Amino acid sequence: MNVWAVCCLFNFAPSHYRNSNYKIFRENLKKHDIKLLTVEFDPSGNYQLTQKDAEKLIQLTDGDVLWQKERLLNIGIDNLPSDTDIVLILDTDIIFSREDIVEKIKLSLNRYKIVQCFNRCMQLNPLLTQYNQEIDFFKLDNSKKYLFH
């Protein structure tokens, strides 16, 4: 099964958290054997990503700032390989904690044309890397040490 995620990255602020979140997001998808197509937009061409940050990376400088997310996702979808079986459209701050998420999505797609890939959300503390905390995302619980308050 050829499973791809499509996401976009644009960091106008610029915030180092976006890039840090992206790296965690990317590593989590690798654990699930999900290939990643990222469309990065920066009007000045100061890109944060390199070719190693996704199986397929498209970098753009043209276009208005308004409606970029939808535009970039559409460009990514249009550039998926023709043998793609499942497409996940994701924000770059999503982390799947279920080890069997791909299998669960496959089963759901046998029944429905479109599925939502999550049913709950946890806000993680953005300062975890400053505390040098390693998180096993497959074993998250509601412990306060992970949550952002």
Residue 116: inside a domain, yes or no?
yes
The answer to whether the CB of 4 falls within 8 A of the CB of 35 is yes
Number of domains forming the structure of the chain? 1
pLDDT value of position 98: 86
DSSP 75-133: HHHHTS-TT--EEEE--TT-----TTHHHHHHHHHHH-SS--S-S---PBPTTGGGGT-
pLDDT value of position 78: 98
pLDDT value of position 22: 92
pLDDT value of position 123: 64
pLDDT value of position 133: 54
pLDDT value of position 20: 83
Residue 65: inside a domain, yes or no?
yes
Residue 86: inside a domain, yes or no?
yes
Q: What is the pLDDT of residues 59-98, one digit of tens each?
A: 999 887 777 899 999 999 999 999 999 999 999 988 888 8
Residue 147: inside a domain, yes or no?
no
Q: What is the CATH number of the domain that holds 62?
A: 3.40.50
Q: pTM (2 decimals)? A: 0.82
Low-confidence ranges of the chain (pLDDT < 70): 120-149
DSSP 24-59: HHHHHHHHTT-EEEEEEE-TT------GGGSSEEEE
Q: Is 65 helix (H, G, I), strand (E, B) or coil?
A: coil
Residue 73: inside a domain, yes or no?
yes
Residue 113: inside a domain, yes or no?
yes
The overall average pLDDT reported for the chain is 84
Q: How many angstroms separate the CA atoms of 144 and 77, rounded?
A: 37
Host domain of residue 13: 3-120
Q: How many angstroms separate the CA atoms of 115 and 84, rounded?
A: 17
